[in-house]
Structure formats: C-alpha cells, structure tokens
Chains A and B, each alone.
Chain A
Amino acid sequence: MKRFIFILIPAAVAFVALTAAAIQTSEACDAKELKAQAKKALDPFTYDSGKVTKIMYRPKTQLKEIEVPVFIGEKYRMVFNTEGLSRNVVISIYNKDKESKDRKPIYTTKQAPAAQRIHVFEPQQAKFKFYVDYEIPAADSASPECLIFMLGYK
C-alpha cells in the first residue's frame, strides 16, 4: 500500500502541475479575445485586415516589420492591442521600409503611457504602403506573447 502511495501521489501532483502549466501557456496568447478587443476600437471603420505577431523575447533587442499595402486617397485606421504583452514593445510606423535610409516616422508609441494597451492611429495620407515596426526589448521569455494589429478603412 505504501509503495502504491509512494508512486501515486507524486504522479498525481505531477499530472496536475503539468496540466496547469499547459493551460497557462495556452492562455498566454488568447489571440481571439485580443482581436475582438481591437475590432471594437476599429469601429466605425470597416475591417480590412489583421495580423497577429507572436513575440518571443531574446537576449538582444529585436526589430520586426510588417508591410501594409494601402490605396491612394482612402481613409484608414490602424489599431494595435498590446494587452497580451508583458513588456513594452515600441510600435512605430514609417513611410518606407527599414532598409531605406531616407524613411520618415509617421507615428510612434514611444511616449505613450505604459498602461495604455490599445493604440489607435489614423494616417493622413495613404500612398502605396506603410511599414509598421515593432521594437522588442531584450529579455527572456518562456512562451510566446501576442501583439495584435488591425487595419480598417472608410
């Protein structure tokens, strides 16, 4: 009986612990709920496209870029939801890609309050493409986190 308990208790504890850990990992990035929040902030613009970017922190600062094609003369709203992030990822928008030397910044969240999780930006002039850059701070992470981007038009 003692031998049975000797095996059963640790096995049960291990099972519960690993299940709890798995649930935590899967809940670290609930993209569906985060996208639903972003879509609310898009209103009254019509949903055009969205991108869920998985963020894994590394020992060095990372730069990820998203290319956003747009149409001339259209009115756009960009929404970012950083609710799924544990660290401050700086979001910046440029008129050209990161390889271009003469690109101009159009928007940045660098000065935004740390508690702000929904960031909304409406560019004044749309021509061809915008480039959204995520500056991901150096850190370590065990599981991926989510940054939501959504584009709407009128």
Chain B
Amino acid sequence: MNRSFVILLCASWMLFFSACSNDNPPADNQDSLPTDSTATVEVPERNTTLPSPLHVAAMFKSSGMKFIPGLINPTAKAASYSTSIQRAQNMGVYSADMAYCVLNKQSNDAQQDMKTIRELANQINLGKIFDNTALYDRFNNNLGSEDSLRRIIADIQFETDQQLEANQQNHLYGVIFSGAWIESMYIGAQVYKKEGNQNIVPTLLEQMNVLKSIVTELEAQQAADPAIPALITDLKALQAHFDQMPFKKQLNDKPDLEFSEIKVTKEEMDALVLKIEELRNKIVNG
C-alpha cells in the first residue's frame, strides 16, 4: 500500500507539472513535430472586414448628402422585430440613421436612435456594449459636439466588435452591418431621387463594391442561423442587378476609371434605386 501510495503521488505531481508547464516555445525553437515548411496550405475560409456605419455615412455626407426629414426608420418600429437576426439587422439600420443624424446635427433624432440601439443590443445579448462603459451617457452629454459624437460612435463600434468576439456571436457582425449598409444606401438613393443630387451617384456606385464583402462575410457564417441564407439571397439579387447594369462595361473596359467619370443613365439609376428601396423596406418591415 505504501509503495503504491508513493507511486501514485509521484504520478500526480508529474501530471501537475506537465499541466502547468508552458508549452509555447520561443520563436526560434525547433518544432517538436516533423514539419514541412516548403508546402503552403491555403486556408479556404474567407475573411473580411467591413467598414463602420459612421464611415459609410461620412462618405455620403462628403458627397453633399443633406438631411431630409422622414427618411430614417421610425424608432417605434423596433418593438416589432422579434428574431435575433431582425433585431441585429435593424440595430444596424438605426446605427446608420444615427450616424446620418449626427453628421447633419439632428441631435433629437440621434438621441432616439441611440436609445433604440441600446434596447436592441440588450435583446441580442450585446447589452455590455453600454453596461460596462459610459458610452450612453457620454453620447447624451455631448449632443452639441459633432466631433465628440463621432469619437463616441467609433468607440461604440469598437465595443460592439469586442462583445461580438467575447460572446462568440461573430455571425451577427455581417448581419448588423448589412442593415447599416442598406439603410445608408437607401438614404443616399432617396436624397438623389428627391433632390437630384448627381454628386451622390459616384458614392452610391462605389458603395456597391462593399456588397460583395458583406456577402463573403455572411456566407462564412451562414450555418450559424437559418435566417442568414435568405439574407444572402436578397443581397446577391441586388449584386446581380448591379453587375448587369450597362455602365459596368465602362469599368470592365477601363478598370482604373474613376466613378466620377462614369456615365450612368437616369433609367439605370432609377432601376438601382428601386432595388435598394425594395430590400430596405423588407428589412425595416420585418
């Protein structure tokens, strides 16, 4: 019995030291397994980053997009979103609306949007974006300063990305942004339609290049929620419409052509605007 006890004790301590030792060798150490550094394996998964809703809104703002009352999604609609995908996507919609309002000094609307974003974030387990930080109070205390609000919105984006990573909810990253992107496109399209602002056309066309990245991101996460494949189908339909627009031939012939140099007919733009409206309305109407 004593001998067994000693053996067992030794084995236990070996287990202890084995578990506690640091297995990470320094960079210059030899590998413990035979390795083959001559052949490179390309990891098939596609990874993409997506721009922040604030940055997209700022791009439209710099093309002369003015504030038109009544364009943004009413905050009262938030209560009707019942699934996590609807809530996440419309959290993105309200993020785009909030950025549009902040960049156009519409502080009352921006404040309402912020409140709604926080409510939706709570409903999809992202409440810590605001719970562990003073971001909500900072936002409300700086309504008069656009520069401060821009910094705070960028911090909210950073915290959102942190929480998605921490909660292993990475599948919502593309979903949230898809809502923000289509809302910004919708607002841009409406300003073009109502005011005839031609300067917005190159921005709308440039933004269409982001769509492929959104689809790439969503495709990588489509197994995480049964609602994501349907969303991909809708976005791909918009992409297919864009790819078949006659002006694309100009880009194919001269890839270095600036968007401001591209000639797009009113009929082409009207058809694109219609597609954007249809998809946006589908998202905000749940």
Name A's B-contacting residues (CB within 8 A).
Answer: 2, 5-6, 9-10, 13-14, 16-18, 20-21, 24, 28, 31-32, 35, 39, 46-53, 58-72, 74, 86-88, 98, 114, 128-129, 135, 137-143, 145, 149, 151, 153
Contacts and interface: CB of A to CB of B under 8 A. Distances in A.
Nearest to A45: B154
Nearest to B42: A63
Nearest to B39: A60
A4 B209 CA distance: 69
Interface in B9-33: 9, 11-13, 15-16, 18-20, 22-27, 31-33
B14 to A, nearest CB: 10
A61 B24 contact: no
Contacts of B166: 31-32
A67 B166 CA distance: 22
Contacts of A21: 19-20
Given A13-B16, A17-B20, A20-B20, A49 B37 contact: no
B20 A62 contact: no
7 smallest beta-carbon distances between A and B, as pairs? A138-B35, A17-B19, A13-B12, A21-B19, A49-B49, A17-B16, A67-B48
Interface of B: 1, 4-5, 8-9, 11-13, 15-16, 18-20, 22-27, 31-43, 45-52, 54-55, 59, 150-151, 154-155, 157-158, 161-162, 165-166, 206, 209-210, 213, 216, 258-259
Contact of B161 (A50, A53, A71, A98): A50
Nearest to A22: B19
Given A48-B55, A61-B37, A72 B162 contact: no
B31 A67 contact: no
Contact of A13 (B15, B24, B32): B15
Given A52-B165, A71-B55, 19 more contacts: A2-B5, A10-B9, A16-B16, A17-B15, A17-B19, A17-B20, A20-B20, A32-B166, A47-B154, A49-B161, A59-B35, A60-B36, A60-B39, A60-B40, A63-B41, A65-B46, A67-B216, A86-B25, A149-B49
A125 to B, nearest CB: 11
B158 A39 contact: yes
B182 to A, nearest CB: 15
Given A14-B12, A62-B41, A68 B35 contact: no
A13 B17 CA distance: 10
